[in-house]
Structure 1
Amino acid sequence: MSGRLVLVCHGATAATRGVVFPRDEPLSVEVGRGADLGRVDLVVRGPETRCAQTAAGLGLDAVVDERLRDADHGQWRGRALDEVAAGEPEAVTRWLTDPSAAPHGGESVLTVLGRVGDWLDEHPAGARTVAITSPSVVRAALVHAIGADPAAFWRVDVAPLSRTVLRGGPGRWSLRWIVPGDA
Structure 2
Amino acid sequence: MKAVRLTLICHGLTDAQRLGRMACPDDALLALPSAAELMADYTQVLSAPERRTLDTAGVLGDQVMIEPALADADPGRWQGLTLKQLQREQPDALAQWLSDPYSAPHGGESLAQLSERVAAWLAAFNSPGSTLAVTHPQVIRAVLGQLLDCPLAALQRIDVLPLAKLQLSFNGQWRVRLL
1:176 pairs with 2:142: no
Contact 2:7–2:133 (8 Å) recurs in 1: yes
Q: Quick check: 1:94 aligned with 2:96?
A: yes
Specify the alignment match of 2:11 in structure 1: 10
User: 1:162, CA displacement in angstroms?
Assistant: 1.0
RMSD (CA atoms):
1.6
The SS at the match of 1:63 is strand
Cα contact 1:7–1:163 (8 A) shared by 2 = yes
- 2:82 corresponds in structure 1 to 80
Alignment partner, residue 103 of structure 1: 105
Name 2:148's counterpart in structure 1: 146
| Alpha-carbon distance between aligned partners in 1 of 2:57 and 2:178, rounded to the nearest angstrom | 21
Q: Does 1:68 align with 2:70?
A: yes
Task: Give the SS at the match of 1:75.
Answer: helix
Partner of 1:181: none
3-state SS of 2:16 partner: helix
Deviation by residue 1:141-164 (Cα, 9 ceiling, x = unmatched)? 111111111112101100011111
Return the alpha-carbon distance in structure 2 between the equivalents of residues 123 and 76 of structure 1. 31
Q: Deviations over 1:67-91 (max 9, x none)?
A: 1110000011101011101111111
Which one-letter code corresponds to 2:15 in the other structure? A
Q: How many residues align?
A: 177
Gaps of 5+ in 1: 179-183
After TM superposition, list the pairs within 5 Å mapping 1:18-167 onto structure 2.
18-24=19-25, 25-35=27-37, 37-59=39-61, 61-124=63-126, 126-167=128-169
Percent same amino acid at aligned positions? 35
Q: Name stretches of at least 5 consecutive residues in structure 2 with no aligned partner.
A: none
**1:120 Cα deviation from its structure 2 partner:** 0.6
TM-score, normalised with respect to structure 1: 0.90
- Name the CA distance, whole Å, in 1 between partners of 2:175 and 2:121: 15
Shift of the alpha carbon at 1:61?
A: 2.3
- State the secondary structure of the residue aligned to 1:39: coil
